Amino acid sequence: MEIIKNRIYRHFKGDYYLVVDIATHSETNEKYVIYRRLYGDGGLWIRPIDMFLSEVDHQKYPNEKQKYRFELQEIESVANNYK
């Protein structure tokens, strides 16, 4: 799965996040996703890309329908309605 910058993703627990960028750790070359939560204080977070792309642990969360920890959302802009 590809991560798309400047797009909104839903965490399987329900909240939404804006992916800001992908960063590389200077010592390990590990890739990280930089994302901003779209609630509360709008904090900026990082997470290893493998964890961001991982599947939900359905043994721990057996009733969860979402397959992946974070899933891309197709959210249309309402601005186009106000031309």
Domains present along the chain, CATH in parentheses: 8-75 (2.30.30.320)
What are the φ/ψ torsions at residue 79 (nearest 5 degrees)? -60, -30
pLDDT recorded at residue 29? 97
**Residue 82 clears pLDDT 80, i.e. is over it:** no
Task: Dig out the tokens for 39 from the structure.
Answer: 């609630």
Q: In this predicted model, what pLDDT tens digit does every residue of 49-65 receive, in sequence order?
A: 999 999 999 999 999 99
Nearest Cα neighbor of 23 from 56, 45, 1 is 45
How sure is the predictor about 80, in pLDDT bands with cuts at 50, 70 and 90?
A: low
User: From CA 14, how far away is CA 1, in angstroms rounded?
Assistant: 20
What is the reported pLDDT for 58? 93
Nearest Cα neighbor of 51 from 12, 5, 20 is 12
pTM for the model stands at 0.86
